[in-house]
Structure 1
């Protein structure tokens, strides 16, 4: 009777500790089986204590676990776990109640790594001078992107004129909300698409606006889901053609409002890359003397009110032929 009582003494403390310490539930004794669920890749620690206890053996699904002879066991795999304890007199406890470990089923989440880039036309642009924006959207993710939505809220003073190109999808502009919405039903992995539209600024200064993209699928990198463009708009009106033919009309390369920029300089370059005219403090007097008809590249630099130099680049066409009356 003494031997039997001693075995129960060990068993009682072994079962009680596992239940209370590992899961904080249940009572000692009985043949109940408890279940715990863990996240994929996670683990749980079991710890068995018996008084007195000097050796342990853990079991998984009824089979002894090789090397699992310490009072603790780290478990990351599903199965039913039990433990035996033995004291220093080689007296073995009854096997503990089982604990069933399950691993939560992972849900396969589709991923579409979208990115968007917005760029304005690089030409020198004045107020009321139409210019184009290009929005490019790409999917670098492993899965197709569905219900792709690109939005662009135009700032005050920027007028939407028209759309010039969309490779795919649907396009809408809400004038009241000043919001451009471009939707694509599906954008496959490694695919890209483009949208071009024309705007017009009514005020000089910097036009800053941002395009964003989203989709139904998870996106592992949100850092490239928005793109901001800054466009410099000047009150200078730079023509793209002048006609120095002696008729008194448009005979010089005249830049409207240049008189408000006392510090300025201009350079005219031919198609071979040679400078044909340079002038600091330009006074709108260049008439193309000695040059052939054709298209020339110009670089105009002006110092604004903040003391910052701004550069405007573009093309000017020189025509000398008089229009027949």
Structure 2
């Protein structure tokens, strides 16, 4: 380093140093501010010129080997010959726990010590005594820095950034990332502080992490967690980058279950808007996904994992930024097959297989190890093959030979339908199971010979409910290979014999005939009979299975219930003037009634019955049983008043004298005969032996002839 030569300027230098000690300043900023003093130390001002570092060495890496990260490197600085430290970081592709950088042949570099930070993936080279080290010594040491990965199956690419500054460098976009510790700083203060920082003329801003490698380097590999430049304070749930060149770019919509239009790296269940949290923050180590984001309020918590501990500053991409070469980058690529594309063909033939590799020459083999080299390059066309064949692809690069990856050339033979269960018959509407056997593969089912809509797939197909005969079509398919021929599978729906159950009445000991009701069928009765009709003598349940002729052979069962009905029995015949009601001991809906044994009715009530001796009839509708009873249709008065007023002075039955053999016996309440009426004595005056009898009820027995048919009743004598 050039040293100041004027004492007054030395105080200026001390002033800047004092300012550095009381502000957040990186070692690089110190170098920049120190450069200001150099202007004052010479009569002719000379600006501090940023160093330039270049490196070569993009190489292949063989797993479990050590490899130098550069093949050549140079550092050019017109006004300096030394610096405090060099930082070498695995800036992308870093695998914590497997990758490591180390200084080999350390004894050859006595002016330099090395230290490896596994969390950041960073190797620091600096002086063991704290004094600046010459660029020459650093160059020689960098040439001896090596990379090692402990996995035999390591994959991918590792990018190395070699920087004079401690800021993390991402070769992909040429940006630098610096973590600034500051416990409890608010987001708005962090944003303002970041925008005051510069890095060799590059303007600082709160980091905007727009890709996975950027989030890995500035988050997971950063030395601490803190604020980044995202916020939804303008519109809740619409997260934007509000700093740097990406200001205004939306990167997330919604809460934890939202979505991103480009890239976001939220922690589990974040953002969660837990208390007006509008600012993006890299989550503390040990909380969920390493290096991921959470949302916080402007202040965050006052302690614990959600207390802000600092912020991430990004440099690069701003208008007016100078072009710098403060860092150089190299990479190593582990030879691996990135992708393979198998091929499939219908019937024997030649197929083209494809593969892509991370680096090196792709070779094709006919065996997983050993065997013959059959081709090279990203594609390989097989010879004509008759069956599915597996080939193997591997890589040769930089003396490394990778394990081989299988790539299959599949031959699917075009199948045919070899058998079906057509025709399938079913008695009556139903679902039906169809079957078809392919020579290989499976079967697609269709409603017709040309439809493009598949009804089902498989060697069996259950139809929907069918009411009529229908034809379906089966086509054999083997991994999309088919001959295009559809085989009809016929479903025949035969009608069932139409039957309805019956209830039959058996009369006393007479047999009843049960009739199947359909001719030209086969019959099998529950009694074992095979005729169309049978006779039974007992009550009970019987059935007949009725089967239609071949080819239908459909069977329906007809059930018979044989019962014996209630025997009709007349209990009483009630006569009210000319209305007759026939009352039976037990009623039944199959009883019918008559007064002449000719005309029968379902009602037991008759009106306008003729006077005289009549007969009531009742029978069941099957003519099994009947009953009858004679009765008299005549209407004695209900009372009489023997008071000589000329009205109802005697008890007289109208038309009684018409019946010459008619008699009426009148009794008092004790059963004593008090009068006897006949065709010659048709009325009673209420006396016995010319003595008036008391007012009370009297009973009568009326007979119209000698048949024994009588009518009984009572009436009242009122005085």
Query: TM tier, shorter chain?
Result: 0.3 to 0.5
Query: Larger radius of gyration, structure 1 or 2?
Result: 2
More RCO (CA 8 Å, sep 6+)? 1
| Length-normalised TM-score, structure 1 | 0.40
